[in-house]
Chain A
Amino acid sequence: MVKEPNPQFAIEVSQTPGGETLSLCFQCGTCTGSCPSGRLTSYRTRKLIRKAQLGLEADVLESPDLWMCTTCYACQERCPRGVEIVDIINVLRNKAVAKGVMSEEHTKVGTYFLQNGATIPLNEKYEAIREQLGLPRRPANVLGDKKALEDFQKILKVTGFDKLLEEKK
Protein backbone atom coordinates (compact mmCIF):
# COMPACT_ATOMS: atom_id res chain seq x y z
CA MET A 1 0.00 0.00 0.00
CA VAL A 2 1.20 3.51 -0.83
CA LYS A 3 2.59 5.25 2.26
CA GLU A 4 2.92 8.75 0.74
CA PRO A 5 -0.12 10.94 0.21
CA ASN A 6 -1.93 9.61 -2.84
CA PRO A 7 -4.37 12.16 -4.29
CA GLN A 8 -5.72 9.47 -6.58
CA PHE A 9 -7.03 7.65 -3.50
CA ALA A 10 -9.36 10.51 -2.52
CA ILE A 11 -10.64 10.70 -6.09
CA GLU A 12 -11.34 6.97 -6.12
CA VAL A 13 -13.28 7.23 -2.86
CA SER A 14 -15.34 10.14 -4.22
CA GLN A 15 -16.21 8.15 -7.32
CA THR A 16 -17.46 5.10 -5.42
CA PRO A 17 -21.18 5.05 -4.53
CA GLY A 18 -21.41 6.42 -0.98
CA GLY A 19 -18.13 8.34 -1.18
CA GLU A 20 -19.36 11.28 -3.26
CA THR A 21 -19.47 13.80 -0.39
CA LEU A 22 -15.87 13.36 0.82
CA SER A 23 -14.63 16.70 -0.47
CA LEU A 24 -17.44 18.65 1.23
CA CYS A 25 -15.91 18.34 4.71
CA PHE A 26 -14.53 21.62 6.06
CA GLN A 27 -13.14 20.14 9.28
CA CYS A 28 -15.51 21.70 11.84
CA GLY A 29 -15.32 18.71 14.19
CA THR A 30 -19.06 18.38 14.82
CA CYS A 31 -18.73 14.69 13.95
CA THR A 32 -16.02 14.07 16.54
CA GLY A 33 -18.06 15.95 19.13
CA SER A 34 -21.09 13.73 18.43
CA CYS A 35 -19.28 10.41 18.30
CA PRO A 36 -19.93 7.96 21.16
CA SER A 37 -16.97 5.88 20.06
CA GLY A 38 -14.67 8.90 20.21
CA ARG A 39 -15.89 9.54 23.74
CA LEU A 40 -14.61 6.11 24.78
CA THR A 41 -11.48 5.76 22.61
CA SER A 42 -8.89 7.89 20.84
CA TYR A 43 -10.75 7.50 17.53
CA ARG A 44 -11.53 10.86 15.91
CA THR A 45 -14.06 10.97 13.07
CA ARG A 46 -12.90 14.34 11.73
CA LYS A 47 -9.31 13.13 11.47
CA LEU A 48 -10.30 10.00 9.61
CA ILE A 49 -12.20 12.09 7.04
CA ARG A 50 -9.23 14.49 6.73
CA LYS A 51 -6.79 11.65 6.15
CA ALA A 52 -9.05 10.26 3.44
CA GLN A 53 -9.26 13.69 1.79
CA LEU A 54 -5.47 13.96 1.80
CA GLY A 55 -5.14 10.52 0.29
CA LEU A 56 -3.21 9.03 3.23
CA GLU A 57 -4.19 5.61 1.98
CA ALA A 58 -2.12 3.28 4.15
CA ASP A 59 -2.74 5.37 7.24
CA VAL A 60 -6.51 5.16 6.73
CA LEU A 61 -6.84 1.57 5.57
CA GLU A 62 -4.45 -0.06 8.02
CA SER A 63 -5.52 1.80 11.15
CA PRO A 64 -7.74 0.01 13.69
CA ASP A 65 -9.60 3.35 13.92
CA LEU A 66 -11.42 2.47 10.72
CA TRP A 67 -13.26 -0.27 12.66
CA MET A 68 -14.20 1.79 15.74
CA CYS A 69 -17.38 3.18 14.15
CA THR A 70 -20.68 1.49 15.07
CA THR A 71 -22.45 3.18 12.10
CA CYS A 72 -24.71 4.97 14.58
CA TYR A 73 -25.19 8.01 12.29
CA ALA A 74 -24.97 10.53 15.14
CA CYS A 75 -22.27 12.40 13.21
CA GLN A 76 -23.94 12.23 9.83
CA GLU A 77 -27.21 13.62 11.21
CA ARG A 78 -25.40 16.69 12.52
CA CYS A 79 -22.78 17.37 9.87
CA PRO A 80 -23.40 20.93 8.64
CA ARG A 81 -21.93 20.10 5.24
CA GLY A 82 -24.04 17.04 4.53
CA VAL A 83 -21.04 14.74 4.46
CA GLU A 84 -22.32 11.15 4.33
CA ILE A 85 -19.79 10.06 6.91
CA VAL A 86 -21.05 6.52 7.49
CA ASP A 87 -21.22 5.83 3.78
CA ILE A 88 -17.68 7.12 3.36
CA ILE A 89 -16.47 4.89 6.21
CA ASN A 90 -18.15 1.97 4.45
CA VAL A 91 -16.35 2.76 1.21
CA LEU A 92 -13.04 2.97 3.10
CA ARG A 93 -13.71 -0.34 4.87
CA ASN A 94 -14.54 -2.00 1.54
CA LYS A 95 -11.20 -0.76 0.22
CA ALA A 96 -9.36 -2.12 3.25
CA VAL A 97 -11.04 -5.52 2.91
CA ALA A 98 -10.27 -5.61 -0.82
CA LYS A 99 -6.60 -5.16 0.12
CA GLY A 100 -6.79 -8.02 2.57
CA VAL A 101 -7.07 -5.96 5.76
CA MET A 102 -9.71 -7.81 7.77
CA SER A 103 -9.60 -8.99 11.37
CA GLU A 104 -9.80 -12.66 12.22
CA GLU A 105 -13.15 -12.15 13.95
CA HIS A 106 -14.64 -10.40 10.94
CA THR A 107 -13.35 -13.10 8.61
CA LYS A 108 -15.18 -15.57 10.82
CA VAL A 109 -18.45 -13.65 10.54
CA GLY A 110 -17.98 -13.41 6.77
CA THR A 111 -17.32 -17.13 6.50
CA TYR A 112 -20.36 -17.94 8.55
CA PHE A 113 -22.47 -15.66 6.36
CA LEU A 114 -21.16 -17.44 3.27
CA GLN A 115 -21.77 -20.93 4.61
CA ASN A 116 -25.16 -20.43 6.25
CA GLY A 117 -26.82 -17.43 4.69
CA ALA A 118 -27.05 -15.93 8.16
CA THR A 119 -24.60 -14.19 10.48
CA ILE A 120 -25.30 -16.39 13.51
CA PRO A 121 -25.94 -20.13 13.86
CA LEU A 122 -29.26 -21.66 14.84
CA ASN A 123 -28.34 -24.54 17.14
CA GLU A 124 -30.27 -27.28 18.88
CA LYS A 125 -30.71 -25.34 22.08
CA TYR A 126 -32.58 -22.60 20.28
CA GLU A 127 -34.45 -25.02 18.03
CA ALA A 128 -35.91 -26.52 21.22
CA ILE A 129 -36.82 -23.06 22.55
CA ARG A 130 -38.52 -22.26 19.25
CA GLU A 131 -40.59 -25.38 19.57
CA GLN A 132 -41.56 -24.52 23.15
CA LEU A 133 -42.81 -21.16 21.93
CA GLY A 134 -44.96 -22.82 19.28
CA LEU A 135 -42.66 -21.92 16.38
CA PRO A 136 -41.27 -24.37 13.79
CA ARG A 137 -37.82 -25.66 14.82
CA ARG A 138 -36.32 -24.09 11.72
CA PRO A 139 -37.91 -21.03 10.09
CA ALA A 140 -38.99 -20.86 6.44
CA ASN A 141 -35.93 -18.78 5.45
CA VAL A 142 -32.41 -19.96 4.42
CA LEU A 143 -32.06 -21.60 7.84
CA GLY A 144 -34.62 -24.20 6.78
CA ASP A 145 -34.51 -24.12 2.97
CA LYS A 146 -31.63 -25.74 1.08
CA LYS A 147 -32.46 -24.40 -2.36
CA ALA A 148 -32.63 -20.86 -0.97
CA LEU A 149 -29.19 -21.28 0.59
CA GLU A 150 -27.76 -22.49 -2.72
CA ASP A 151 -29.14 -19.41 -4.50
CA PHE A 152 -27.74 -17.22 -1.76
CA GLN A 153 -24.29 -18.75 -2.16
CA LYS A 154 -24.42 -18.52 -5.93
CA ILE A 155 -24.91 -14.75 -5.63
CA LEU A 156 -21.88 -14.50 -3.35
CA LYS A 157 -19.85 -16.32 -5.98
CA VAL A 158 -20.93 -13.92 -8.69
CA THR A 159 -20.05 -10.88 -6.57
CA GLY A 160 -16.73 -12.47 -5.58
CA PHE A 161 -17.44 -12.46 -1.85
CA ASP A 162 -16.02 -15.97 -1.47
CA LYS A 163 -12.73 -14.89 -3.06
CA LEU A 164 -12.59 -11.82 -0.84
CA LEU A 165 -12.41 -14.07 2.22
CA GLU A 166 -9.90 -16.45 0.67
CA GLU A 167 -7.52 -13.71 -0.41
CA LYS A 168 -7.25 -12.00 2.95
CA LYS A 169 -3.79 -11.82 4.42
Chain B
Amino acid sequence: MNLNKKYALFLGCVAPARYPGIEAATREVCKTIGVDLVELEGAGCCPAPGVIKSFDQDTWLAIAARNLALAEKQGADILTICNGCYGSLYDAAHILNGDPERLRAVNKILEEVGMEYGGKTVVRHFAELLFKDITPENVKANTKRSLEDMKVAVHYGCHFLKPSKIKDLDDPERPRILDDLVEATGAVNLNYRDKQMCCGAGGGVRSGNPELATKFTESKLKSMKEAGAQYIIDVCPFCHLQFDRTQKDVKGYDLPVIHLAQLLGLAFGVPANKLGLEIQEVPVKF
Protein backbone atom coordinates (compact mmCIF):
# COMPACT_ATOMS: atom_id res chain seq x y z
CA MET B 1 0.00 0.00 0.00
CA ASN B 2 1.22 3.49 -0.75
CA LEU B 3 -0.27 6.65 0.64
CA ASN B 4 0.59 9.64 -1.47
CA LYS B 5 0.96 12.01 1.44
CA LYS B 6 4.27 12.92 3.08
CA TYR B 7 4.40 12.91 6.88
CA ALA B 8 6.86 14.76 9.09
CA LEU B 9 7.48 12.60 12.15
CA PHE B 10 7.14 14.70 15.29
CA LEU B 11 9.21 12.96 17.97
CA GLY B 12 8.41 15.05 21.04
CA CYS B 13 10.50 14.82 24.22
CA VAL B 14 9.72 11.53 25.95
CA ALA B 15 9.99 9.04 23.09
CA PRO B 16 13.46 9.95 21.74
CA ALA B 17 14.98 10.53 25.19
CA ARG B 18 13.38 7.75 27.29
CA TYR B 19 11.59 5.26 25.04
CA PRO B 20 13.50 5.29 21.76
CA GLY B 21 12.01 1.84 21.09
CA ILE B 22 8.74 3.63 20.33
CA GLU B 23 10.51 5.84 17.80
CA ALA B 24 12.30 2.91 16.17
CA ALA B 25 9.10 0.83 16.05
CA THR B 26 7.19 3.70 14.43
CA ARG B 27 9.77 3.98 11.67
CA GLU B 28 9.68 0.21 11.03
CA VAL B 29 5.89 0.01 11.01
CA CYS B 30 5.58 2.99 8.67
CA LYS B 31 8.00 1.27 6.29
CA THR B 32 5.88 -1.89 6.32
CA ILE B 33 2.60 -0.11 5.61
CA GLY B 34 4.01 2.37 3.10
CA VAL B 35 3.76 5.62 5.04
CA ASP B 36 6.38 8.05 3.73
CA LEU B 37 8.13 9.66 6.73
CA VAL B 38 10.45 12.67 6.66
CA GLU B 39 12.27 14.21 9.62
CA LEU B 40 10.80 17.36 11.12
CA GLU B 41 14.18 19.02 11.29
CA GLY B 42 14.70 21.55 14.05
CA ALA B 43 11.44 20.78 15.85
CA GLY B 44 11.25 21.59 19.55
CA CYS B 45 9.03 20.55 22.44
CA CYS B 46 5.37 20.48 21.27
CA PRO B 47 5.13 22.22 23.99
CA ALA B 48 3.62 20.03 26.69
CA PRO B 49 -0.12 20.76 27.04
CA GLY B 50 -0.02 20.29 30.81
CA VAL B 51 3.07 21.94 32.17
CA ILE B 52 4.06 24.55 29.59
CA LYS B 53 0.52 25.57 28.62
CA SER B 54 -0.28 25.87 32.34
CA PHE B 55 2.61 28.29 32.76
CA ASP B 56 1.99 30.58 29.82
CA GLN B 57 -0.50 30.11 26.99
CA ASP B 58 1.11 32.65 24.69
CA THR B 59 4.46 30.88 24.88
CA TRP B 60 2.73 27.56 24.32
CA LEU B 61 1.00 28.83 21.18
CA ALA B 62 4.10 30.50 19.73
CA ILE B 63 6.31 27.44 20.17
CA ALA B 64 3.62 25.16 18.77
CA ALA B 65 3.26 27.52 15.80
CA ARG B 66 6.98 27.26 15.16
CA ASN B 67 6.63 23.47 14.87
CA LEU B 68 3.59 23.80 12.60
CA ALA B 69 5.49 26.26 10.40
CA LEU B 70 8.45 23.87 10.07
CA ALA B 71 6.15 21.16 8.71
CA GLU B 72 4.36 23.60 6.42
CA LYS B 73 7.68 24.58 4.88
CA GLN B 74 8.35 20.93 4.06
CA GLY B 75 4.90 20.51 2.55
CA ALA B 76 4.19 17.72 5.01
CA ASP B 77 1.46 16.88 7.50
CA ILE B 78 2.62 16.25 11.06
CA LEU B 79 2.48 12.73 12.42
CA THR B 80 2.69 12.40 16.21
CA ILE B 81 3.22 9.28 18.29
CA CYS B 82 2.25 10.94 21.58
CA ASN B 83 -1.08 12.10 22.99
CA GLY B 84 0.53 15.14 24.58
CA CYS B 85 2.16 16.29 21.34
CA TYR B 86 -1.06 15.55 19.50
CA GLY B 87 -3.05 17.51 22.08
CA SER B 88 -0.83 20.56 21.83
CA LEU B 89 -0.20 20.61 18.09
CA TYR B 90 -3.76 19.72 17.12
CA ASP B 91 -5.23 22.32 19.48
CA ALA B 92 -2.76 24.98 18.34
CA ALA B 93 -3.49 24.24 14.67
CA HIS B 94 -7.21 24.34 15.45
CA ILE B 95 -6.83 27.81 16.96
CA LEU B 96 -4.43 29.26 14.38
CA ASN B 97 -5.87 27.70 11.22
CA GLY B 98 -9.26 29.22 12.03
CA ASP B 99 -8.48 32.57 13.63
CA PRO B 100 -6.65 35.10 11.42
CA GLU B 101 -6.20 37.51 14.30
CA ARG B 102 -4.38 35.08 16.55
CA LEU B 103 -2.41 33.82 13.57
CA ARG B 104 -1.27 37.36 12.88
CA ALA B 105 -0.24 37.84 16.52
CA VAL B 106 1.75 34.61 16.51
CA ASN B 107 3.42 35.47 13.23
CA LYS B 108 4.66 38.71 14.76
CA ILE B 109 6.61 36.55 17.21
CA LEU B 110 7.81 34.07 14.58
CA GLU B 111 9.06 36.99 12.49
CA GLU B 112 11.83 37.45 15.07
CA VAL B 113 13.33 34.15 13.92
CA GLY B 114 12.57 34.69 10.25
CA MET B 115 9.61 32.35 10.13
CA GLU B 116 5.96 32.54 9.18
CA TYR B 117 3.05 30.16 9.62
CA GLY B 118 0.40 30.18 6.88
CA GLY B 119 -2.25 28.27 8.84
CA LYS B 120 -2.25 25.14 6.68
CA THR B 121 -0.62 22.32 8.63
CA VAL B 122 -2.68 19.22 9.39
CA VAL B 123 -1.78 17.30 12.57
CA ARG B 124 -2.44 13.59 12.84
CA HIS B 125 -1.92 10.92 15.48
CA PHE B 126 -0.23 7.66 14.49
CA ALA B 127 -3.21 5.64 15.79
CA GLU B 128 -5.69 7.82 13.92
CA LEU B 129 -3.76 7.43 10.67
CA LEU B 130 -3.61 3.68 11.19
CA PHE B 131 -7.33 3.44 11.84
CA LYS B 132 -8.59 5.74 9.12
CA ASP B 133 -6.11 5.42 6.27
CA ILE B 134 -4.62 1.97 6.79
CA THR B 135 -7.67 0.38 8.49
CA PRO B 136 -7.76 -2.57 10.91
CA GLU B 137 -8.39 -4.92 7.94
CA ASN B 138 -5.01 -4.02 6.46
CA VAL B 139 -3.35 -4.33 9.85
CA LYS B 140 -4.74 -7.84 9.92
CA ALA B 141 -3.55 -8.51 6.39
CA ASN B 142 -0.02 -7.38 7.33
CA THR B 143 0.09 -9.46 10.51
CA LYS B 144 2.69 -12.18 10.09
CA ARG B 145 2.62 -13.37 13.65
CA SER B 146 -0.78 -13.50 15.36
CA LEU B 147 -0.53 -12.18 18.91
CA GLU B 148 -3.29 -14.47 20.23
CA ASP B 149 -1.10 -15.50 23.17
CA MET B 150 -1.16 -11.95 24.58
CA LYS B 151 -3.86 -10.76 26.97
CA VAL B 152 -3.90 -6.99 26.87
CA ALA B 153 -5.52 -3.96 28.51
CA VAL B 154 -5.88 -0.95 26.20
CA HIS B 155 -5.27 2.52 27.66
CA TYR B 156 -6.41 5.41 25.45
CA GLY B 157 -5.06 8.28 27.54
CA CYS B 158 -6.71 11.69 27.48
CA HIS B 159 -5.47 13.97 24.74
CA PHE B 160 -5.91 11.51 21.88
CA LEU B 161 -9.70 11.70 21.65
CA LYS B 162 -10.45 14.67 23.90
CA PRO B 163 -11.67 17.36 23.74
CA SER B 164 -13.96 15.48 21.34
CA LYS B 165 -15.73 18.69 20.38
CA ILE B 166 -12.78 19.70 18.20
CA LYS B 167 -11.34 16.24 17.40
CA ASP B 168 -14.41 14.18 16.63
CA LEU B 169 -12.49 10.92 16.21
CA ASP B 170 -14.54 8.53 18.28
CA ASP B 171 -16.94 8.36 21.23
CA PRO B 172 -14.78 9.57 24.14
CA GLU B 173 -16.70 7.46 26.67
CA ARG B 174 -16.76 4.18 24.73
CA PRO B 175 -14.22 4.43 21.92
CA ARG B 176 -13.33 1.58 19.57
CA ILE B 177 -10.40 2.90 17.50
CA LEU B 178 -7.60 1.33 19.52
CA ASP B 179 -9.60 -1.75 20.43
CA ASP B 180 -10.18 -2.52 16.75
CA LEU B 181 -6.52 -1.98 15.84
CA VAL B 182 -5.30 -4.13 18.72
CA GLU B 183 -7.79 -6.90 17.99
CA ALA B 184 -6.64 -6.93 14.36
CA THR B 185 -3.28 -8.31 15.56
CA GLY B 186 -5.04 -11.25 17.19
CA ALA B 187 -4.27 -10.07 20.75
CA VAL B 188 -6.90 -10.87 23.38
CA ASN B 189 -8.36 -7.49 24.35
CA LEU B 190 -9.78 -7.38 27.88
CA ASN B 191 -12.29 -4.91 29.24
CA TYR B 192 -11.52 -3.45 32.66
CA ARG B 193 -12.86 -1.02 35.26
CA ASP B 194 -12.06 2.66 34.64
CA LYS B 195 -10.71 1.99 31.18
CA GLN B 196 -11.10 5.65 30.18
CA MET B 197 -9.40 6.99 33.32
CA CYS B 198 -6.24 9.10 33.04
CA CYS B 199 -2.82 7.58 33.93
CA GLY B 200 -2.15 10.48 36.32
CA ALA B 201 0.91 12.00 34.69
CA GLY B 202 -0.62 14.94 32.83
CA GLY B 203 -1.22 18.56 33.74
CA GLY B 204 2.09 18.87 35.57
CA VAL B 205 0.88 16.38 38.20
CA ARG B 206 3.75 13.90 37.67
CA SER B 207 6.33 16.63 38.22
CA GLY B 208 4.46 18.72 40.80
CA ASN B 209 2.56 16.09 42.78
CA PRO B 210 4.11 12.66 42.11
CA GLU B 211 2.28 10.93 44.99
CA LEU B 212 -1.05 11.84 43.43
CA ALA B 213 0.11 10.68 39.99
CA THR B 214 1.11 7.34 41.52
CA LYS B 215 -2.35 6.94 43.06
CA PHE B 216 -3.97 7.34 39.63
CA THR B 217 -1.57 4.85 38.09
CA GLU B 218 -1.92 2.28 40.83
CA SER B 219 -5.68 2.42 40.57
CA LYS B 220 -5.43 1.64 36.86
CA LEU B 221 -2.79 -1.08 37.27
CA LYS B 222 -5.02 -2.75 39.83
CA SER B 223 -8.07 -2.93 37.61
CA MET B 224 -6.03 -4.09 34.61
CA LYS B 225 -4.50 -6.85 36.69
CA GLU B 226 -7.87 -7.86 38.11
CA ALA B 227 -9.20 -8.25 34.58
CA GLY B 228 -6.39 -10.70 33.84
CA ALA B 229 -4.24 -8.49 31.62
CA GLN B 230 -0.58 -9.37 30.98
CA TYR B 231 0.31 -6.24 29.01
CA ILE B 232 -0.74 -2.60 28.77
CA ILE B 233 -1.19 -1.13 25.29
CA ASP B 234 -0.97 2.65 24.94
CA VAL B 235 -0.46 5.35 22.31
CA CYS B 236 1.45 7.92 24.35
CA PRO B 237 5.09 7.86 25.54
CA PHE B 238 4.17 9.92 28.60
CA CYS B 239 1.47 7.46 29.76
CA HIS B 240 4.04 4.80 28.84
CA LEU B 241 6.66 6.35 31.11
CA GLN B 242 4.12 6.78 33.90
CA PHE B 243 2.98 3.13 33.80
CA ASP B 244 6.49 1.74 33.33
CA ARG B 245 8.35 3.84 35.91
CA THR B 246 5.64 3.74 38.57
CA GLN B 247 6.11 -0.04 38.64
CA LYS B 248 9.67 0.54 39.86
CA ASP B 249 8.19 1.67 43.19
CA VAL B 250 4.83 -0.05 43.19
CA LYS B 251 5.60 -3.74 42.97
CA GLY B 252 3.55 -6.80 42.18
CA TYR B 253 1.80 -5.88 38.95
CA ASP B 254 4.42 -6.93 36.43
CA LEU B 255 2.60 -5.38 33.49
CA PRO B 256 4.96 -4.44 30.63
CA VAL B 257 3.82 -1.43 28.62
CA ILE B 258 3.69 -1.68 24.83
CA HIS B 259 3.03 1.30 22.55
CA LEU B 260 0.74 0.57 19.60
CA ALA B 261 3.71 1.03 17.24
CA GLN B 262 5.67 -1.61 19.17
CA LEU B 263 2.69 -3.98 19.18
CA LEU B 264 2.26 -3.62 15.43
CA GLY B 265 6.01 -4.14 15.07
CA LEU B 266 5.65 -7.49 16.85
CA ALA B 267 2.68 -8.45 14.70
CA PHE B 268 4.36 -7.40 11.44
CA GLY B 269 7.46 -9.44 12.21
CA VAL B 270 9.89 -6.60 12.98
CA PRO B 271 12.86 -8.12 14.87
CA ALA B 272 12.24 -7.76 18.63
CA ASN B 273 15.63 -6.09 19.18
CA LYS B 274 14.43 -3.13 17.10
CA LEU B 275 11.45 -2.44 19.37
CA GLY B 276 13.29 -1.73 22.63
CA LEU B 277 10.78 -3.73 24.69
CA GLU B 278 13.34 -5.71 26.69
CA ILE B 279 15.10 -2.57 27.99
CA GLN B 280 12.09 -0.97 29.69
CA GLU B 281 11.69 -0.95 33.51
CA VAL B 282 9.21 -3.80 33.22
CA PRO B 283 10.67 -5.67 30.27
CA VAL B 284 8.78 -7.85 27.84
CA LYS B 285 10.24 -11.32 28.12
CA PHE B 286 10.60 -13.03 24.78
A residues adjacent to B (C-beta < 8 A): 16-18, 36-37, 40-41, 64, 67-74, 76-77, 84, 86, 89-91, 93-94, 97-98, 102-103, 105-106, 108-110, 113, 117-123, 126, 129-130, 132-135, 139-143, 145, 147-149, 151-152, 154-156, 158-161, 164
Q: Is the CB of A77 within 8 A of B173?
A: yes
- From B39, B55, B201, give the contact of A164 (CB < 8 A): B55
Q: Is the CB of B158 within 8 A of A118?
A: no
Interface stretch, picked from B109-117, B122-130, B177-185, is: B109-117
Sort chain B's interface into a size bin.
Answer: 35 or more
A93 to B204, CA, bound (A): 11
Contacts of A147 in B (CB 8 A): 42
A132 to B279, CA, bound (A): 11
Contacts of A145 in B (CB 8 A): 41-42
Q: Is the CB of A155 within 8 A of B110?
A: yes
A129 to B20, CA, bound (A): 7
Contacts of B204 in A (CB 8 A): 67, 106, 109
Q: Is the CB of B16 within 8 A of A122?
A: yes
Interface stretch, picked from B140-148, B206-214, B225-233, B249-257, is: B206-214
Contacts of B40 in A (CB 8 A): 140-141
Known: A94-B56, A155-B112. A148 touches B212 (CB 8 A): no
A109 to B201, CA, bound (A): 14
Q: Is the CB of A72 within 8 A of B274?
A: no
Name the distance in Å between A140's Cβ and chain B's nearest Cβ.
4
Q: Is the CB of A159 within 8 A of B216?
A: no
Interface residues of B in 152-166 (CB under 8 A from A): 158-159, 162-164
Q: Is the CB of A140 within 8 A of B39?
A: yes
Q: Is the CB of A94 within 8 A of B55?
A: yes
- From A74, A94, A108, A154, give the contact of B112 (CB < 8 A): A154
- From A70, A74, A139, give the contact of B50 (CB < 8 A): A70
Q: Is the CB of B17 within 8 A of A103?
A: no
Minimum CB distance partner of A85 in chain B: B163
Contacts of A129 in B (CB 8 A): 20, 276, 279
Minimum CB distance partner of B215 in chain A: A40
Q: Is the CB of A118 within 8 A of B45?
A: yes
- From B49, B163, B205, B219, give the contact of A68 (CB < 8 A): B205
Q: Is the CB of A141 within 8 A of B11?
A: yes
A93 to B16, CA, bound (A): 29
Known: A130-B20, A156-B59, A158-B109. A140 touches B42 (CB 8 A): yes
A67 to B13, CA, bound (A): 22
Contacts of A135 in B (CB 8 A): 16, 20, 23-24
| B119 CB within 8 Å of chain A | no
Known: A67-B204, A109-B207. A90 touches B45 (CB 8 A): no
When A and B form their complex, which 9 residue pairs have the shortest distance between CB atoms, in order from nearest? A148-B42, A72-B198, A73-B162, A71-B203, A122-B17, A70-B203, A93-B54, A70-B202, A151-B113
Known A37-B212, A133-B274, A156-B59; further 18 A-B contacts with Cβ < 8 A = A68-B212, A70-B158, A70-B203, A74-B196, A89-B54, A91-B57, A94-B56, A97-B54, A109-B207, A113-B45, A126-B20, A135-B20, A135-B24, A141-B44, A148-B44, A151-B66, A155-B59, A155-B66
